[in-house]
């Protein structure tokens, strides 16, 4: 386990800021490696940010992957340094998939390799089904398939989704008197060390006054989705994935993922499942192992 953010100073100092202008606003992020290299997209999870991949970037720069790939870690809409969606808009899951689709079209990336965590991995496996010719490899960390609803859940999902939007109008994002208090809050909400929480907070916080800190993440991110795909719809998308597909589970990660693998594995015949010691943020705890696995995957499938 890594327990000192000083280990990541090189990765943080070598990170190159990137920005992509989408129709609704700007997606920002960080990049490492060969400037003209093949795109290796790093997609973070819900309420995290691109610093989720700083430990991975540190291991990446010490590997042969850095000679071929450009590691690009984005902040999703409403996260990190990226813009919030305009007032009156929300964060439906499929809009993240569309943002990724749009970004690849805009940048004219004919093919991409993706390493993604949690929500980012759910986005990635949907994208890989929609655009199978564009994704060469997908390494999903602590996520597979998608949360499904049945047709009988439709009315209740809509009702709860609308109610959460209404209730969010009067909610304000919490403020913290100092950075340590914010780090403590993030540590308490996660399953990792204070040092890793501090790494996420470093990009996810803004200072408004001498004793006034606030997380950058849009409060609208916490809304309940009014619409979810059915299991049949998810299966259809997954069945169109043709790229090499590997899933990494943390030994102390989310237990429900084992059920998801059992449910969805029949639709992705080429799926490989790996388990590493760690929690839901196992990619931050075991970055060298993740890079080693990614190196093996790209080497095996690229010949």
CA atoms within 13 A on the CB side of 277: 3
Burial class, 31, CB count within 10 angstroms (exposed 0-12 / middle 13-18 / buried 19+): buried
Catalytic option among 52, 118, 193, 244: 118
DSSP 8-state assignment for residue 276:
E
**Helix ranges restricted to H, the chain:** 9-14, 54-61, 93-107, 119-130, 154-168, 179-189, 194-204, 231-238, 256-264, 282-285, 287-302
Q: What share of the chain is helix, strand, coil (3-state, %, to 5)?
A: 45, 20, 35
Q: Given its phi and psi angles, is residue 47 left (phi above 0), alpha (psi -120 to 50 degrees) or beta? A: left
CB 56 within 8 A of CB 290: yes
Q: Is 50 among the residues known to form the active site?
A: no
Which positions are catalytic? 118
């Amino acid at each position: 386990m890594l327990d000192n953010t000083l280990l990541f100073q090189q990765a943080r100092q070598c990170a190159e800021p990137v920005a992509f202008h989408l129709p609704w606003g700007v997606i920002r992020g960080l990049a490492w490696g060969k400037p003209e290299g093949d795109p290796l997209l790093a997609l973070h999870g819900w309420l995290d940010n691109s610093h989720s991949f700083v430990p991975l970037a540190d291991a990446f720069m010490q590997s042969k992957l850095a000679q071929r790939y450009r590691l690009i870690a984005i902040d999703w809409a409403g996260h990190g340094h990226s813009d919030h969606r305009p007032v009156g808009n929300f964060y439906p899951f499929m809009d993240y998939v569309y943002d990724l689709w749009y970004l690849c079209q805009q940048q004219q990336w004919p093919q991409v390799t993706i390493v993604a965590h949690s929500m980012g991995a759910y986005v990635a496996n949907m994208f890989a089904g929609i655009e199978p010719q564009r994704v060469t490899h997908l390494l999903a960390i602590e996520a597979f398939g998608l949360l499904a609803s049945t047709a009988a859940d439709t009315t209740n999902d809509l009702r709860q989704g609308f109610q959460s939007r209404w209730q969010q109008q009067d909610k304000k994002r919490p403020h913290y008197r100092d950075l340590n208090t914010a780090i403590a809050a993030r540590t308490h909400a996660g399953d990792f060390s204070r040092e890793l929480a501090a790494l996420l907070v470093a990009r996810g916080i803004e200072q408004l006054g001498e004793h006034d800190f606030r997380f950058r993440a849009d409060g609208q991110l916490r809304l309940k989705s009014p619409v979810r795909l059915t299991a049949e719809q998810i299966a259809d998308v997954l069945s169109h994935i043709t790229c090499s597909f590997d899933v990494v589970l943390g030994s102390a990660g989310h237990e429900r993922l084992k059920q998801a693998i059992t449910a969805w594995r029949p639709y992705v015949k080429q799926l490989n499942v790996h388990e590493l010691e760690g929690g839901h943020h196992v990619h931050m705890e075991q970055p060298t192992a993740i890079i080693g696995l990614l190196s093996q995957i790209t080497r095996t499938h690229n010949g």
